[in-house]
Amino acid sequence: MKAVVIGGGFSGLATASLLSRQGIEVTLVEKNNTLGGRARVLEEKGYKFDMGPSWYLMPEVFDCLFSSIGKRRPYELVKLSPSFKLTIDWKKDIVIYPDMSDNKEELNKLEENGFEKMERYLEYTRFMYETAMKKFLYREYSAPGDLFTREVMGEAVKLGLFSSLESFNKRFFKSEDMLKLTGFASVFLGGSPDVIPGLYALVNYPIFGQGVFYPKGGFGKIVEGLVGDYDVRLGEEVVKAKVKDRKVYALKTNKGEVDGDLFVFSGDYRWLDQNVLPVGYSNYDEGYWDTRVYAPSAVLAFVGIRDSIDEPHHHIVIRGDWKKHFSAIFNNSPLPEGLSYYVSIRSKSEQGLAPEGGDSLFFLIPLPPGFNGDSESIAKKVVFEYLEKHGIREVDYIRFFTPREFRLDYNATLGTAFGLAHTLSQTALFRPSMRNRRLSNLLYTGQYTHPGIGVPMVIISAQVATQIVVSQLKE
Ligand SMILES: Cc1cc2nc3c(=O)[nH]c(=O)nc-3n(C[C@H](O)[C@H](O)[C@H](O)COP(=O)(O)OP(=O)(O)OC[C@H]3O[C@@H](n4cnc5c(N)ncnc54)[C@H](O)[C@@H]3O)c2cc1C
């Protein structure tokens, strides 16, 4: 049997590795000249950057993947300490360490009995996380009965499935600072704290309970660990699928053709579904796609400086009323003056990522999906304000990555950085299906599908897709 995987991001790489471990001959086709998708690597002028993911969470998901493909994890994991810093309006810094007891004083300053409340919150979110890992994540949802079982319904209220993350968090915390601390992770899920379901508070267990890890060598090292067992065709864009007898039998690319018995789309679901499949074979129509809630787009800035900056590896900066920023992203209201953003300084955790004595900084500023304003000016303002606050006057290297580049480089619908937001109506069964309804040998993986956004999630989507293939082979 021969499988063709479209897309060399984490979902495509994981799918290709898992299928080839099953003895299937695999070819992976990627439109860019390097692998990794959103997790590509940028190296220039002595500075090295990961272009996308930087938070290594849920380490057991990566371990499970490497053990499933019969490999040792090819990189060392370092638990970061501090885990991260949250700065609010340049007035307050909250620094969180992986050992919760080291945060006692800090949390008690944010709210009366903040530490005990956080301990209770983590007990609860740990339960949610472990339940999700055991019962909800590593499985396919194809019918309402898969999700709304008596057991799940029984646990749904307890899990906060039907409330928002914000109202779930308010069950534990009162102060604005604590709500920010336990709400910022909603951006990882492509939503705002008042919209994404409370179920996703489970992501706070890895962040606060397990700790934030750093893979030595960066995310590019993980990508390297997932190649080698199958054929890769780089710089080749899939443009049309050829279909016969309810099956895809070949893909036309900008360089030729590739045939196969099984096909997996792991790029932008909407783009592939609407552009590559012949009329009548798409899983969803324009009306469906137009009513989805897309995750934010973003402008990124990669900045090299000759000086060293005194900040930890992960720094989140909240500016002004963050609800106005969320509202601009999801409700089309104007962007506020002060935008919140995230800075990753990998050079704090590894040498050789910047010239001697310098640092490499990565800025992520969330923007509305479909944004077509001047994102570079927005990024410049943020970058220079940040550097000025740290007494840095000179930039040695700077490169922006705009919403337009998300569209051009990854075929990202509306230039979304993360795919589809995690709203209640876009969770589990309600995310776009992993199977094509009209073509029996076509599957979809990646951040649009269940379980969703983030490297661990898209790796799980690859595991689920592989389970589907294995069970189909047994039929
Ligand atoms: C800036 C940023 C920061 C992030 N931070 C984190 C983080 O800290 N931690 C975390 O866990 N997650 C993070 N994420 C999310 C995570 O990176 C993604 O959810 C995940 O990498 C998506 O993987 P994917 O395989 O679904 O898609 P992609 O990585 O987009 O891969 C899809 C691939 O398909 C290719 N493709 C598209 N169309 C075609 C075609 N027609 N022919 C051939 N190839 C095609 C694209 O070029 C792309 O390489 C971040 C994302 C971004 C953008």
**pLDDT tens digits for 162-195?**
789 999 999 999 999 999 999 999 998 999 999 9
Whether residue 382 is predicted with pLDDT greater than 70 in this model: the reply is yes
Per-residue confidence at 231, pLDDT binned at 50, 70, 90? very high
Ligand 1 centre and the CA of 114: distance in Å? 36
Q: Give me the mean pLDDT over the 408-412 stretch.
A: 98
Round to the nearest angstrom and report the end-to-end CA distance of the chain: 15
Examine the fold and report which residue of 164, 187, 203 is the final residue of a domain before the chain moves on. Answer: 203
454 in a structural domain: yes
Domain span including residue 121 = 106-179+197-203
Structural domain count, the chain: 2
Examine the fold and report which residue of 149, 171, 203 is the final residue of a domain before the chain moves on. Answer: 203
Q: Give me the mean pLDDT over the 59-83 stretch.
A: 97
What's the confidence (pLDDT) of residue 159? 64
Per-residue confidence at 158, pLDDT binned at 50, 70, 90? low
Considering the domain architecture, whether residues 26 and 172 belong to the same structural domain is answered as no
Range list of H helices, 351-432: 375-389, 403-410
Residues 249, 128: Cα–Cα separation, whole Å: 42
For tokens 């501090």, name the residue. Answer: 82
Residues 324, 51: Cα–Cα separation, whole Å: 27
Ligand 1 centre and the CA of 451: distance in Å? 14
Ligand 1 centre and the CA of 9: distance in Å? 5
Per-residue confidence at 468, pLDDT binned at 50, 70, 90? very high
Ligand 1 centre and the CA of 156: distance in Å? 30
Ligand 1 centre and the CA of 15: distance in Å? 14
Atom of ligand 1 nearest to the CA of 271: 38
Buried b (16+ CB within 10 A) or exposed e, 10-43: bbbbbbbbbbbbeebebbbbbbbeebbbbbbbbe
What's the confidence (pLDDT) of residue 475? 82
What's the confidence (pLDDT) of residue 284? 97
469 in a structural domain: yes
302 in a structural domain: no
Cα angle: 270, vertex 276, 280; to 5 degrees: 85
Ligand 1 centre and the CA of 132: distance in Å? 23
Atom of ligand 1 nearest to the CA of 11: 25
Ligand 1 centre and the CA of 105: distance in Å? 38
Ligand 1, atom 2: closest residue by C-alpha: 52
Examine the fold and report which residue of 203, 236, 265 is the final residue of a domain before the chain moves on. Answer: 203
Residues 324, 335: Cα–Cα separation, whole Å: 7
The residues near 415 (Cβ < 8 Å, ≥ 6 apart) are: 297, 369, 370, 371, 402, 403, 404, 406, 407
Atom of ligand 1 nearest to the CA of 38: 29
140 in a structural domain: yes
Q: Which residues line ligand 1 at a C-beta cut-off of 6 Å?
A: 6-12, 29-32, 37-39, 52-55, 237-238, 266-268, 298, 300, 364, 410-411, 417-418, 446-447, 453-456, 458
452 in a structural domain: yes
Q: Please report, for residues 8, 140, 462, the alpha-carbon distance to residue 15 in angstroms, rounded to integers and kept in the order given.
A: 10, 15, 5
Residues 46, 310: Cα–Cα separation, whole Å: 20
What's the confidence (pLDDT) of residue 162? 77
Atom of ligand 1 nearest to the CA of 35: 49
Considering the domain architecture, whether residues 140 and 283 belong to the same structural domain is answered as no
Atom of ligand 1 nearest to the CA of 57: 11
Ligand 1, atom 35: closest residue by C-alpha: 7
Ligand 1, atom 27: closest residue by C-alpha: 9
Residues 35, 307: Cα–Cα separation, whole Å: 31
What's the confidence (pLDDT) of residue 332? 87
CATH number of the domain encompassing residue 254: 3.50.50.60
Ligand 1 centre and the CA of 108: distance in Å? 38
Atom of ligand 1 nearest to the CA of 455: 11
What's the confidence (pLDDT) of residue 147? 67
Q: Give me the mean pLDDT over the 329-349 stretch.
A: 95
Residues 288, 274: Cα–Cα separation, whole Å: 11
Residues 110, 104: Cα–Cα separation, whole Å: 10
Per-residue confidence at 429, pLDDT binned at 50, 70, 90? confident
Ligand 1 centre and the CA of 406: distance in Å? 10
157 in a structural domain: yes
The residue whose CB lies within 8 Å of the most ligand 1 atoms, and thus the one to mutate among 38, 297, 405, 411, is 38
The mean-pLDDT minimum among 209-223, 357-371, 420-434 falls in 420-434
What's the confidence (pLDDT) of residue 55? 98
53 in a structural domain: no
- Please give the mean pLDDT across all residues of the chain: 95
Per-residue confidence at 233, pLDDT binned at 50, 70, 90? very high
Q: What confidence tens digit (pLDDT) does each residue in 87-122 have? A: 999 999 999 999 999 999 999 999 999 999 999 999
Atom of ligand 1 nearest to the CA of 298: 1
Q: What confidence tens digit (pLDDT) does each residue in 18-48 have? A: 999 999 999 999 999 999 999 999 999 999 9
Cis bond leading into 82, ω under 30°?
A: yes
Ligand 1, atom 6: closest residue by C-alpha: 53
Residues 155, 142: Cα–Cα separation, whole Å: 20
DSSP 420: B
Q: What confidence tens digit (pLDDT) does each residue in 261-289 have? A: 999 999 999 999 999 999 999 999 999 99
Whether residue 70 is predicted with pLDDT greater than 90 in this model: the reply is yes
Considering the domain architecture, whether residues 171 and 236 belong to the same structural domain is answered as no
Q: Is the dihedral of CA 67, 69, 71, 72 positive or negative?
A: negative
What's the confidence (pLDDT) of residue 142? 79
Amino acid letter, 298:
A
Ligand 1 centre and the CA of 353: distance in Å? 22
Atom of ligand 1 nearest to the CA of 29: 43
Atom of ligand 1 nearest to the CA of 417: 53
Ligand 1 centre and the CA of 379: distance in Å? 21
Whether residue 152 is predicted with pLDDT greater than 80 in this model: the reply is no
